[in-house]
Amino acid sequence: MRSHGFRVILLIVFFYTLPYGQARFSWKPKPYPRCRSFLVTDLGYFLRLTPLPRTVTDAEEKARNYVVSNIGYMQNINRRYAIGFSNFLATYLGQEYGVNWGVKLGFRKWLNERSSVDLSPGIILWHYSDDRNWKTPGFTGSIDLKWRQALGISLIAEYVPSRAPMLENDLGIYLGVELGSLPGLIATGVGAAGMLTLLWVASALAGD
């Protein structure tokens, strides 16, 4: 009798914890109950839609190309919604070179098991550019439509204040495409390795 009661308790505990055992962490984004939490790995290429401030020289050539890497963590709160945070590193390329680094909050609505819409407000905590005209903190936000989690379309808005009164503050709007999930993770790794290699080469040449 005692053995039978123990088995019943074990069965109750098993079926009670089964959904949580199945809904574990995933390296690829999935809605609940396929996973409880997941990794965010996006790499995107963007083009600037808005003109640069009038006080910036060579405005037609500078900062038209924008590459953004986004790595973070999200938690499914139910079958339709997830929340989380991420760390982003963005590089703009043109006549001058610049980098933005910061953090974002993430709010995701699952449209189905493979597609979603994300809203991500954030803060630019550090900025570097050749002209040194801009300061932090700045503000950023994006809205992303992801298809199969491997490909997405994203719209980014960024605001970076200027250092001097004679310079206009920079409000940039960027439109681009993103790789996510496993392709995004691979592309981010390759991009990081390439960036470190370029920095190493530049440092070696500067030392010579």
Task: Give the number of other Cβ atoms within 10 Å of residue 28's Cβ.
Answer: 16
The fold of 24-207 is Porin (2.40.160)
What pLDDT, in 10s, does the model give residues 104-150? 999 999 999 889 999 999 999 988 776 667 778 999 999 999 988 78
Distance CA 112, CA 69 (A): 25
How far does Cα 31 stand from its chain's mean position? 18
- DSSP β-ladder status, 25-26 and 37-48: parallel
Most confident of 115-129, 168-182, 192-206: 115-129
Top pLDDT among 109 and 91 is at 109
Q: Per-residue b/e over 108-142, b at no fewer than 16 CB within 10 Å? A: bebeeeeebebebebebeebebeeebbebebbbeb
Domain ranges of the chain: 24-207
pLDDT attached to residue 174: 95
Confidence of residue 196 (pLDDT cuts 50, 70, 90): low
What pLDDT, in 10s, does the model give residues 50-78? 887 765 555 444 567 888 988 999 999 99
Confidence of residue 23 (pLDDT cuts 50, 70, 90): low
pLDDT attached to residue 163: 79
